[in-house]
Structure 1
């Protein structure tokens, strides 16, 4: 049974094998409409991927199915002790959600989302090893979700997060890495609240536990405790409807600093693989997302937004930034939705990750990486 589950999730993750994202390995927002509004969605659910942003949001979207495909293109560059490398990125990542209004006050649904980061330079970096440098972290979540409307306009939601993770490290012999790939299963929970506080004004609150994965045996000699978990996170959102306009704001906290593999400093002091062993040196992120939606006509909506966050990699911890270049903590967004019929809608979104270059200082001096990425998402939604 375990092999069957691993195979299914691995197939879903193949297209996300080299995803680059805004907040660590996470996108600024999930769901095509949310993407067009800078990710601002905790209090503004719009489709059946709402569970990724706030499980309670599924209570407000009704019975529907949504699918999307995101194309990411750009170039990532690094310079490690004078060795320059680059990688041209072109990848496609799917998204899917389905929701069913089981009873007037109860919904049942599922959302599938992808996370990841990776690089393929096609050449060695002498400071890292003798083989061609290639890294790949893929994390996929399937989130069965239930909501309950306990008062009119007030919803509670619960998601069970079932995860698949794959990690490949290549060309890091100087750090003790074996050029190998391994996978693991994981699980966590997400809870949320969505409520109408006043006419047109909504509040959303959400919390996700860490998604704890099994040990990656092939990498237990270099990764603290052999595990890379998805961190706990919490968020709060507000949305306000006034005439044809909707304005939304989110704050999201991502707790990278509790996950030892990501948070431990490269100079932590412990032995590789130990709980106090070297890691990537990440710090927590505080993400602020702003979005505006305009109902131009009965058929057409237009939207825009921004996502602004601190960079999770301090300059003093940039030694390994070249193999995990999650370097775009700020992004600008545009989007639209066109209603083909009463049931079907087509949505598009564009995201530009504002260029950011990390330059190492102190023990990380001589390492830098950065790039420029464009994301284009097309989604189809069908309401029953």
Structure 2
């Protein structure tokens, strides 16, 4: 197949199959592309394939003309434990109605003029999904299973300009498609400005556009640095205007980062990234549940959200080219905790609490410039315990939420 034909086919597959699970950093994916995920998501100063633009738009100037198509399979384990509730909610709840999720992605890069490079990447940002067959809110009057499903798919056309063959500046558009559903939340309708738009309204979608800037510089033969910034992307779910603050507003938060890569030997590279995700600047994500007691109903401008905080992520990775055909990778990432212990009640629906992930990966390069890549990652189980996290109006009590993940990915690449 010609590259543009392959790209169209992979793009169509990605749009048809946006079945997303939890990501490792709140609901942001830890990395994009199988090579990057093999080093725990490091990519700001370590571009490795055509999906480099997702981490840093300038990176496409250093990967050549290539096509990459990948798929990752997520296996999350999420749930909650309730104790001390006066309305009989106590119990262990498993949110694993769905246990396997597929995240396809594809990228294409091409030099289009001297020192000018273009790219197109299509990828998933991660997302949120819970499904409780045993509804944790049934004692409050809920019916049916409970859960939410948030899906985010990005299309990112990118341009990069290389200066003096060692520095590159890139800019891209992040065109984001979001889809959301919620079910089994009937008890919350009485606390909403729009009670008919809180739960069981089917799927709602929204599209927004943001910008993404980046720099990559080879300071010496051994040292490469990078920096990147992505703007907030506005979104709104009208069918759930009674659930999310400010009438259904649900923005994708601004984020920025810095990276460094050091080539210890011609075959061995070590790299690290720092990323900050500004969840705290998005009301529907960051507003605390305590806003409800202040008279701010669900769906109002200051309505309660999930109480998530700004999150810092540090990633470390290493690559070792064993021979011209085989490259091995390993990585580890750690994030600060987005979910405050006081906010675990609503985060039964969104327990994005894992903080640590370890990864391994490998690529086999053929003589015809095709490559086959693999990675495995494990996000270690994390529990956030919230004493007295349930409001007195819901009978009080304590909620602990937990999440663990396994993910395996496969990719095909072609250098032209």
TM-score (norm 1): 0.94
Partner of 1:89: helix, strand, or coil?
coil
Q: Cα gap change, 1:308/1:127 in structure 2, threshold over 3 Å: closer, same or farther?
A: farther
Computed over aligned residues only, the root mean square deviation of the Cα atoms, in angstroms, reads: 1.7
Alignment match, 2:31: 29
- In structure 2, C-alpha distance between the alignment counterparts of 1:37 and 1:374, rounded to whole Å: 15
Q: Aligned runs of 1:182-331 on 2, under 5 Å?
A: 182-213=204-235, 215-225=236-246, 226-243=248-265, 244-268=267-291, 269=294, 270-331=296-357
Alignment match, 2:150: 137
2:21–2:101 Cα contact (<8 Å) kept: yes
- In structure 1, C-alpha distance between the alignment counterparts of 2:16 and 2:380, rounded to whole Å: 26
In the alignment, structure 1 residue 104 sits paired with structure 2 residue 129: no
The equivalent position to 2:78 in structure 1, one of 53, 68, 76, is 76
Alignment match, 1:377: 409
The offset of 1:358, in angstroms, is 1.5
1:21–1:27 Cα contact (<8 Å) kept: yes
- In structure 1, C-alpha distance between the alignment counterparts of 2:185 and 2:139, rounded to whole Å: 9
Q: Cα gap change, 1:54/1:281 in structure 2, threshold over 3 Å: closer, same or farther?
A: same
Larger radius of gyration: 2
- Unpaired segments ≥5 residues, structure 2: 1-9, 83-88, 190-197, 391-396
1:321–1:368 Cα contact (<8 Å) kept: no
1:202–1:240 Cα contact (<8 Å) kept: yes
- Unpaired segments ≥5 residues, structure 1: 1-7
Partner of 2:17: helix, strand, or coil?
helix
The offset of 1:174, in angstroms, is 1.4
Task: Name the stretch that deviates more: 70-79 or 182-191.
Answer: 70-79
In the alignment, structure 1 residue 94 sits paired with structure 2 residue 104: yes
The offset of 1:79, in angstroms, is 2.0
The equivalent position to 1:46 in structure 2, one of 48, 54, 71, is 48
1:131–1:172 Cα contact (<8 Å) kept: no
**Could you give the per-residue CA deviations for residues 164-201 of structure 1, whole angstroms, max 9, x where no partner exists?**
11110101111222211211111101000000111210
1:55–1:147 Cα contact (<8 Å) kept: yes
In the alignment, structure 1 residue 148 sits paired with structure 2 residue 150: no
Partner of 2:284: helix, strand, or coil?
helix
The offset of 1:123, in angstroms, is 2.8
Q: Cα gap change, 1:179/1:14 in structure 2, threshold over 3 Å: closer, same or farther?
A: farther
- In structure 1, C-alpha distance between the alignment counterparts of 2:259 and 2:338, rounded to whole Å: 22
- In structure 2, C-alpha distance between the alignment counterparts of 1:370 and 1:353, rounded to whole Å: 12
Q: Cα gap change, 1:341/1:334 in structure 2, threshold over 3 Å: closer, same or farther?
A: same
TM-score (norm 2): 0.87
Q: Cα gap change, 1:230/1:296 in structure 2, threshold over 3 Å: closer, same or farther?
A: same
Alignment match, 1:121: 132
- In structure 2, C-alpha distance between the alignment counterparts of 1:343 and 1:324, rounded to whole Å: 42
- In structure 2, C-alpha distance between the alignment counterparts of 1:105 and 1:211, rounded to whole Å: 30
- In structure 2, C-alpha distance between the alignment counterparts of 1:378 and 1:27, rounded to whole Å: 16
- Greater strand share, 1 or 2? 1
The offset of 1:271, in angstroms, is 2.2
Partner of 1:331: helix, strand, or coil?
strand
- In structure 1, C-alpha distance between the alignment counterparts of 2:139 and 2:230, rounded to whole Å: 38
Number of equivalent positions = 376
